């Protein structure tokens, strides 16, 4: 198949491009390189089945493809809050442009949605039928509401125009090719530990997240995309739940770092807990994560060591 991956030069998108090529597809990667990097896809430039298009998803584009994965959107809070209006435009106009394309060429289209649609959740763990607890006017709203609106657009194109949609709700995912300075907790803590710098703990560190290794996530993407039974939304994430303190301790243990933890204010609207209920993915996709946090962190730490030249 010929497959379009928007956001294909980013952390997850570049791994998805690799996997799609390995499976024998032709891949077109469309990215404006806001948070993505050519280094993530440089190893593909000599592959005749790979093309890179530098383009912004908020502007329409025409291309003939069989499948579309829409991943274009900054994912780290400091990056999506850098230009919040642009973030909303990316999610909303990006979805409209991709859906319009899917409708014209009759391609199946996949949306990378997020656990952020649940906001600061009052139900725990989060099931797909939980409608969420999002502050529509807060600092995270550009991302959360943008992704919620993209889901709305996907379902309206599906109901109104018969577009063949798939939606995944991704929970915090980590691994090689994250940017050392993207501001997300896994990259921050690892880079700080490796450099012997202070570990920046926001709030009391009791807030929880569930961390999925990228290989497990990409497997979930392909299983959802290449089955005919369900559209989603489907949660894809690792149900192992860790406090930020536990995460810091684990990273300090693996790296053997002497960094000390310093406490900083908790950003506004920072969700207190997050853990996916993955019963739907298990039942319909036969999917569950395989990589435990410690193992995935070891590989990610190895990657950052070489990135930092250590
Ligand atoms: P990332 O920032 O590494 O990748 C996003 C990519 O989109 C980058 O290559 C960036 O340059 C590109 N992009 C941003 N705005 C664009 C625009 N207007 N036009 C074209 N390209 C644009 O982030 P990631 O972690 O790889 O996330 C990929 C997708 O998965 C995002 O949609 C994100 O919201 C979603 N997601 C990720 C996580 C996670 O934990 N990694 C969790 C939930 C959802
Ligand atoms: N966090 C932290 N120190 C950091 C970066 C993040 O304590 O240097 C916390 C952050 O406040 C949040 C959690 O780690 O509670 C996960 O943050 P991240 O930005 O990775 O993802 P998200 O909040 O979008 O889940």
Q: Provide the CATH number for the domain around residue 205.
A: 3.90.25.10
* Ligand in closest contact with the CA of 259: 2
Tens digit of pLDDT for each residue in 98-134? 999 999 999 999 999 999 999 999 999 999 999 999 9
Question: How many domains are there within the chain?
Answer: 2
Same domain, 107 and 187: no
Residue with tokens 């991956």: 5
Query: What is the model's pLDDT at position 183?
Result: 95
User: Ligand 1 centroid vs 63 CA: distance in angstroms?
Assistant: 21
Residues with CB under 6 Å of ligand 2 are 76-77, 172, 184-185, 188, 200-202, 207, 209, 244, 266-267, 270
Band (136; pLDDT cuts 50, 70, 90): very high
Query: What is the model's pLDDT at position 37?
Result: 97
Residue with tokens 């600061």: 120
Tens digit of pLDDT for each residue in 28-39? 999 999 999 999
Residue 235 burial (CB count, 10 A): 27
User: Ligand 1 centroid vs 257 CA: distance in angstroms?
Assistant: 30
* Ligand in closest contact with the CA of 246: 2
Is residue 284 in some structural domain?
no
Residues whose CB falls within 8 Å of the CB of residue 77, separated by 6 or more in sequence, listed in order: 140, 143, 183, 184, 267
Same domain, 148 and 15: yes
Is residue 100 in some structural domain?
yes
Same domain, 182 and 299: yes
Same domain, 11 and 48: yes
Determine if the peptide bond prior to 125 is cis (ω within 30°): yes
Band (138; pLDDT cuts 50, 70, 90): very high
Same domain, 129 and 182: no
Is residue 257 in some structural domain?
yes
Tens digit of pLDDT for each residue in 51-68? 999 999 999 999 999 999
CATH code for the domain in which residue 91 is found:
3.40.50.720
pLDDT (average), residues 278-294 = 98
Band (230; pLDDT cuts 50, 70, 90): very high
Query: What is the model's pLDDT at position 114?
Result: 98
Band (85; pLDDT cuts 50, 70, 90): very high
Cα–Cα distance between 12 and 27 in angstroms, integer? 15
**Helix, strand, coil content of the chain in percent (nearest 5):** 40, 20, 40
pLDDT (average), residues 285-292 = 98
The torsion of the CA quartet 287, 289, 290, 291, rounded to 10 degrees, works out to 160
3-state secondary structure 233-272: CEEECCCCEEEHHHHHHHHHHHHCCCCCEEEECCCCCCCC
What are the tokens at 162? 């018969």
The protein residue with its alpha carbon nearest to ligand 2, atom 12, reads: 270
Same domain, 61 and 201: no
User: Ligand 2 centroid vs 48 CA: distance in angstroms?
Assistant: 39
Is residue 6 in some structural domain?
yes
CB-CB contact of 180 with 221 (8 Å): no
Cα–Cα distance between 45 and 17 in angstroms, integer? 12
Same domain, 154 and 261: no
Band (178; pLDDT cuts 50, 70, 90): very high
Cα–Cα distance between 288 and 211 in angstroms, integer? 13
Instruction: Name which of 277, 43, 93 is nearest 171 in CA terms.
Output: 277
Q: How far is C-alpha 198 from the chain's CA centre?
A: 27
Catalytic residue positions, numbered: 143
Pocket test for ligand 1, best of 73, 146, 187, 217 (most atoms within 8 A of CB): 73
**Domain that residue 14 falls in:** 2-173+212-236
User: Ligand 2 centroid vs 285 CA: distance in angstroms?
Assistant: 29
Average pLDDT, the chain: 98
Same domain, 66 and 157: yes
Query: Quick one: what percent of the chain has pLDDT higher than 70?
Result: 100
pLDDT (average), residues 188-198 = 98
* Ligand in closest contact with the CA of 201: 2
Cα–Cα distance between 99 and 195 in angstroms, integer? 44
């Amino acid at each position: 198949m010929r497959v379009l991956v928007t956001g294909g030069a980013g952390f997850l998108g570049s791994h998805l491009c690799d996997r799609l090529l390995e499976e024998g597809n032709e891949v077109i990667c469309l990215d404006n390189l806001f948070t993505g990097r050519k280094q993530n896809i440089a190893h593909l430039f000599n592959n005749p089945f790979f093309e890179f298009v530098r383009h912004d998803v908020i502007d329409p584009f025409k291309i003939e493809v069989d499948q579309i994965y829409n991943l274009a959107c900054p994912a780290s809070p400091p990056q999506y809050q850098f230009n919040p209006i642009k973030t909303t435009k990316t999610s909303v106009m990006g979805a409209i442009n991709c859906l319009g394309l899917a409708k014209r060429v009759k391609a199946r289209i996949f949306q990378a949605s997020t656990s952020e649609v649940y906001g600061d959740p009052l139900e725990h763990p989060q099931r797909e039928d939980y409608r969420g607890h999002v502050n529509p006017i807060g600092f995270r709203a550009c991302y959360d509401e943008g992704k919620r609106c993209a889901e709305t657009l996907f379902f309206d194109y599906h109901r109104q125009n018969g577009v063949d949609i798939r939606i995944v709700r991704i929970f915090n995912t980590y691994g090689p090719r994250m940017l050392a300075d993207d501001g997300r907790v896994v990259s921050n803590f690892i880079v700080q530990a490796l450099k012997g710098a202070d570990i920046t703990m926001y709030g009391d560190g009791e807030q929880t997240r569930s961390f999925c290794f990228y290989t497990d996530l990409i497997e979930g993407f392909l299983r959802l995309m290449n089955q005919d039974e369900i559209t989603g939304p489907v949660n894809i994430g690792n149900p192992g739940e860790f406090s930020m303190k536990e995460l810091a301790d684990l990273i300090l243990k693996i790296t053997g770092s002497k960094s000390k933890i310093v406490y900083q204010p908790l950003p506004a609207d920072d969700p207190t807990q997050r853990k996916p209920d993955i019963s739907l993915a298990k039942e319909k996709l036969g999917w569950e994560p395989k990589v435990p946090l410690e193992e995935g962190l070891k590989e990610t730490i190895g990657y950052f060591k070489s990135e930092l030249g250590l």
